[in-house]
Structures are given as structure tokens and as C-alpha cells.
Structure 1
């Protein structure tokens, strides 16, 4: 489905003293066409309510980012703003670290100028998605890129998303780290090509390739379905015998045997030798 827009403008002016936990007002005092290197980040979480909205200004222009997600299902969220210009790679870093997503980056096909990306870490499955993904779920996440379709598959190429998983969860849930996979919902849950990129004391970091940004789930995926991403075949989609053969640890002889081929090679070598020997014997008798 098309990416759901996180931006909606309220027709009524809100009381500045009233906070909607699912609405963030951004102050865009900078020039609308600022350089792509400028960025800002804002975040909110149950323990960081004081930063749930950016500062507002009557002299600047702003917009309200209202998510379609049920506010009671949002555990934490963070925003980052960049200029999205066709032909220039863009990266949104979420430096506050209040969600499991650390950054997204992609190559824009279209120009959207100043764009705000919102990451929502959810308490449960998104209320906008009808089904749950296959496998054990670590986190559900929504990623909204602007309100004009800047994160749709038709607007980007080479989409990437980096996320982190707590080592304590991997240990406590007895998770196979090599099976940790990001899944994206687009009419159904689709596993994305995911690989480990680094780790620190508390987290393991993964990067996944995605055709667009919308609804995601971080899972331990053991399915055999096709994994999206750059025509790569991750080891998780190959059986244990296949992995052993690729690593050179397969039991027995891993070479492919072809008895008929071996026979043809033997005949090709032995027949000329036999003819040479027979000719030599005939010649010796004549002498």
C-alpha cells in the first residue's frame, strides 16, 4: 500500500499550552531551501516528555506532524529533518537514540526540499497493519518520511535502515543472531536483506535494504520465502548442508560426482593408447 502520511494540518489553531502526545510542531526558521548538510533531531519517549515537541515561533513557518498510529501504541519517537534533493544521497541520523532505529539513508529520485522523518517505536503491532509477521518479534517500528511520499518506492532507490537489538534480548530469548531480519509490510510481511554491521557493549547493529519506508518489524526470521534486496542470497535462506558445503565443512566428499562423465574421460584417454600399443605390436611382428 502507499506509505501513510504522517503529516496532517489541523484546521483549528491549538492551544499552545495543550500537548498532544502524538503531534510534533517543528520550527522551520531556516531558509526553506537550506543546504543538504543542515539537519535537526527531536525525540520523545515515556521518560522524555519534556522534549515531545520542538519549539514554536510565530515568526517562522511550521507544520504539524500527526501520525495515523494510535497514540497509546507509541512507546517512543524521534524526528530528523534534512533536505531531500534528487540526485543527492540523503541520510537521516537519529542521534538521541530513543528508538531502535539509528539512521535511514537513500538516493532520492525526486526533490522534496526540507523533509522531516519520524520514527515511531511501538508497544505492539501497528494498529494500521492487519497481520503479525512470521517469527519472534523484537520491535515494531513505523518510519514516516515527510508527508508528500518522499519515502515511497517510487521516490527512492538504494534505501537502507540501520537498527539496534539489545544483546540481553538475544540472550534471554535464545535468539539465533544470524536469523535477525527486518520485515516490511506491503500488503503482507516481506523479509528484507539484513546483515550485521557492528556491535558494542549492549547492542548488536544491523543494516537492512528496503524499497521504501512504512511499517517494519525486527524479527528472528526462519522462513524460506524470498528475501528482498539486491539479488543477494543470505546464508539464512540456504539449508545447513548448503552452508556447510559453502564453508568447506561438509562431511564426506562435497564434489559433485558424475559416473558417465568419468567413463567418457577414461575412454577418451585409453582408446588412443590402445591403438598405439596394437600398432606397435603389429609392426614388431612384421619386422
Structure 2
């Protein structure tokens, strides 16, 4: 019965490898064929007193128009004359998509770094583009992920699923493969939403999987004489549940007013930003 149990677990691992490999292929196929949304090259963050430029990527329309980090966004115009006040960071993407790739936008901003009384200026964003479809770092991460999966698969077949700790180590390698290879486009829907959730899930469970493996191999440590070792997975589980709840909440079939309130709440408290910070802190610590 014990051998049969390990055999079944081995088959489950192989099935997981197959499914997540197909997911990686679909992710790359979508990246290669899907029309990417336009961007101004600026990362906007919602703060209690407005929308601020947290990062300005060089080479994009925002940087070319002279937008600086720390500038406060006040209003946006599609025609360069009639400005509409913007109160939520998520509204920026709506205007970008209305302008489209190759289109133009005008921003009314406040340069908070200046001490002058008149700090308001207009920035004309010309020839909007999308984010790069392929980046050298993406290919590097894919190679690293394939290496992880190759090591896990080699050890799995070399030692067999019956050997101690092999399934744990192979699962660790599979998690590393996923968060290195999976790369969502930021569309926030359908396949891309699933890729994003799985990517964050793998990133969250990798640290406790690694710590757990180190505590088990080559011999059990004192911590495994009780069930307290399960607590090392608790932060990853909580982060994952919050991530899934936030991600799927935006796809709920609710009326427009309720969805607007939900989006405003998420933006006001920068919940996705806090979630990303918690993922990184959890991974590093």
C-alpha cells in the first residue's frame, strides 16, 4: 500500500509537470500573438491626496513628454484641449486604451518637487506604444526555469518516486520552474489572470517548500517531532488566499456601481501593491 501511495503521488507530480508545461506554452503563445495594451511607461500609484508617478520608464511616451517621478496627475485630455479630472489610478489605463497604440494624450500634472507657486504643467504624450513583448531578462528567466525543471525531472527518474524526499525536491523544482517561466501580460482577465495567480502561488510556496526540505534532508530535525512545522506554510497560504480573492473579485458579475466601489477601495489602499510587497518580503525572509 505504501509503494502504491508513492506511485500515485509520482503520477500526480508528472501530471502537474505536464499541465504547468502546457500553461507555460499557452502563456508564451499569448505573449507572441495577443495585442498588448498601450502604455505611457509610467507606474502610477494611488495615494490619499491623489495619483503620483512612482516610476517613469525611459524611452516611453511619458518620459519623452518630460514627466518626472513624484509628479501628481490631475487631469487627462484626449484632444489636448478638454481635460477631464482623474481621481483613480485605474482610470489612466482607460484613457490609454481610448487613445490606442500610436495615439496621443495630454496630461495635466503638478510638479511637487518644485517650490514655485505655479507648479502646474501640461505634458503631451505622442505616439503611445506598448510594453516590450520580449525582453532579454524574460529569456534568461525561462532558461533558469527550464534548468530547475530539468534537475527535478532528472532526479525524479534517476532515484524514482520511492526514494526519500524525492517528491518534495521535485515539487520544489516545479515551483521554481513556474515562477521563473510564467510571465503575465498584465491584462487581468481570462488566461492571463490564471497565469498571474499561478505565478504568484508558486512564488509564495517556494520559500516554505525550500525551508521544509532543508529541515527534512538528510535527516529529520527536532522541529519534526511535533506538527508545528506546518506553520511555515501559513504565511504562503494566507498571501495566496488574499491574492486569489483580490484577483477574482474584479471578475465578479456585479453591477457597475458596486464594481466601481470595489476598484476605488483597492486603489485607495493600494492593495495589489501591498500584496506584491508582502510576496517579496516573504520570499526574502
After TM superposition, the score normalised by the length of structure 2 is 0.19
Larger radius of gyration: 1
Structure (1/2) with the larger helix percentage: 2
Structure (1/2) with the larger strand percentage: 1
